Amino acid sequence: MWFNHPKPVGSRKPVATLVQQHLDPNARIIATPVHQSASLHAIDPAALNAIEFSVRYGFWEYVGFMWQHAHYLIRRRRIAAPTSWYMQCKSTWSAAFHFFMQGRSRSTYQFTIDRHGIVRTGPGGVTLIGWDDVTGMRTYSAGRMLLLKRGTLPIPARCLDQGQANSLAGYAQWIKAVG
């Protein structure tokens, strides 16, 4: 009966809670982590506005993101042509299969991106992603891809207006300056 064996304390997945914030419009204080404060001042503050949008991923859109990202990863590792094609097809097929089986095209995700991090709200709950978990941001034909320490987060360009796209570009510069 090893299924009933208790887990040690702290071995469970951490759970995030969303805390209501009361914002004072007259306040000018911006809380930033200590290691990011120097790089934050190098970027234009107007370029780091908060972004709120919702996404309902399409199957072919997601497959396009994964195809381009797999190509980037394989090319970065300098793998020869026949093997790279096989790996790119296999990786993209696997991502498409999981996208379909998890039913992600049936769900709408709400995103909030600000100086404190990324909040994604979906059918599975709220996911909080701090900027220290973001390793980079890539630009693909359908939008941008946030590269996380554990996974990726595609952001389609069709979901952003021009101001939000400019703010996201500012965050991309910030990530590059911090990294």
Angle CA 125–113–58, to nearest 5 = 65
Residue 125 in domain = yes
Q: What confidence category does residue 34 fall into, taking pLDDT thresholds of 50, 70 and 90?
A: very low
Residue 37 belongs to some domain of the structure: no
Give residue 84's domain range: 47-178
Q: Give the per-residue pLDDT at 37.
A: 46
Percentage of residues in the chain having pLDDT higher than 90: 16
Other C-beta atoms lying within 10 Å of the C-beta of residue 109? 18
Q: What is the pLDDT of residues 146-173, one digit of tens each?
A: 999 988 889 999 999 998 898 888 888 8
pLDDT at 128: 92
- pLDDT score for 79: 74
For residue 117, is it within any domain?
yes
Please count the other Cβ atoms lying within 10 Å of the Cβ belonging to residue 168.
23
- Structure tokens of 51? 């972004």
Per-residue pLDDT of 87-140, as tens digits, reads 888 888 988 898 888 877 788 899 999 888 899 998 888 989 998 899 989 888
Can you give the three-state secondary structure of the chain, one letter per residue?
A: CHHHCCCCCCCCCCCCCCCCCCCCCCCCCCCCCHHHHHHHHHCCHHHHCCEEEEECCCHHHHHHHHHHHHHHHHHHCCCCHHHHHHHHHHHHHHHHHHHHHHCHHHCCEEEEEECCEEEEEECCEEEEEEHHHEEEEEEECCEEEEEECCEEEEEEHHHCCHHHHHHHHHHHHHHHHHC
Q: Is residue 153 in some structural domain? A: yes
In a domain, 4, yes or no: no
Give the pLDDT of residue 2: 46
**Residue 91: inside a domain:** yes
Higher-scoring residue by pLDDT: 115, 26: 115
Stated pTM of the model: 0.66
In a domain, 131, yes or no: yes
Cβ–Cβ under 8 Å, residues 108 and 55: yes
User: What's the total number of domains in the chain?
Assistant: 1
In a domain, 42, yes or no: no
pLDDT per residue as tens digits for the range 64-91: 988 888 888 888 777 778 887 888 888 8
* Mean of pLDDT over the chain: 77
pLDDT score at 156:
92
Considering only residues 122 and 30, tell me which one the structure prediction assigns the higher pLDDT.
Answer: 122
